[in-house]
Amino acid sequence: MAYAFDTRTSHTQTASDSELIQIAIRGEPSGFEQLVLRYYDKLHTSLSINVGCPCAAEDIVQDAWMKAFTNLEKLRDHGQFYSWLYRIALNSRRTYVPSKHRSLQLGSIEESRIRPRAKRNESPSEIAERNEECRRVRLALAKIDPLHRTILILREYELYDYESIAKVMQTNTGTVRSRLHRARRKLKERLE
């Protein structure tokens, strides 16, 4: 008995973002579905840290994906899909979380996915110490204004270079460097 295989699905798993966008623009759902599979968790994790509340992050991420889907044809540089999507999410975050909510709730921060990396041969006291330090950083990060928190997350958590941060934040690299310097200073002050 012969079986029919959908070769489009296997191709989309290895396709570049640009290829997936072209597939999606042609009206084939597999292109956009693969983009969602590729970036959903990364975007949600980053927004959970930024917003401090996984439920709010979920709403923002869903909104960002809907806007990305409806505006996909407007994306000029298909190779910059994730940066474009992240920028949409940040804009959605601004409208979702009013500016009066500058400080996040402790419970929300504890739920965030910032976790210390496990190291080999660590004693229980070393693990506890590292966990406590991570908790302190999450709390301090939550008390920083959203602009500086976002810059720190992009640089230190997402490991973006200055040019990529500038694209996401729609500014120049000099501004990114100065904001990052201020953000690190603010974080250090909160940790002292």
The CATH code belonging to domain 15-116+123-191 is: 1.10.1740.10
pLDDT, residue 36, reads: 94
How far lies 190's CA from each of 139, 159, 187, in Å?
9, 22, 5
pLDDT of 80 strictly over 80: yes
Question: Each residue of 92-111: pLDDT tens digit?
Answer: 988 885 433 434 443 344 44
**Percent of residues, the chain, with pLDDT higher than 70:** 81
pLDDT, residue 53, reads: 77
Average pLDDT over residues 158-185: 91
pLDDT, residue 184, reads: 93
Residues 6+ apart with CB under 8 A from 142: 52, 103, 104, 108, 109, 149
Output 77 or 157, whichever has higher pLDDT: 77
SS3 (DSSP) at 145: coil
* Residue 170 zone, left/alpha/beta (φ > 0; ψ -120 to 50; rest): left
Question: Each residue of 125-165: pLDDT tens digit?
Answer: 888 888 888 788 888 888 898 889 989 988 888 888 999 89
Question: Each residue of 43-74: pLDDT tens digit?
Answer: 998 888 888 778 888 889 999 999 999 999 99
Q: Domain-by-domain residue ranges, the chain?
A: 15-116+123-191
Question: Each residue of 13-43: pLDDT tens digit?
Answer: 788 999 999 999 999 989 999 999 999 999 9
pLDDT, residue 102, reads: 38
Give the residue ranges of DSSP H helices in the chain. 7-14, 17-25, 29-51, 54-70, 81-96, 106-111, 124-142, 146-152, 162-169, 173-191
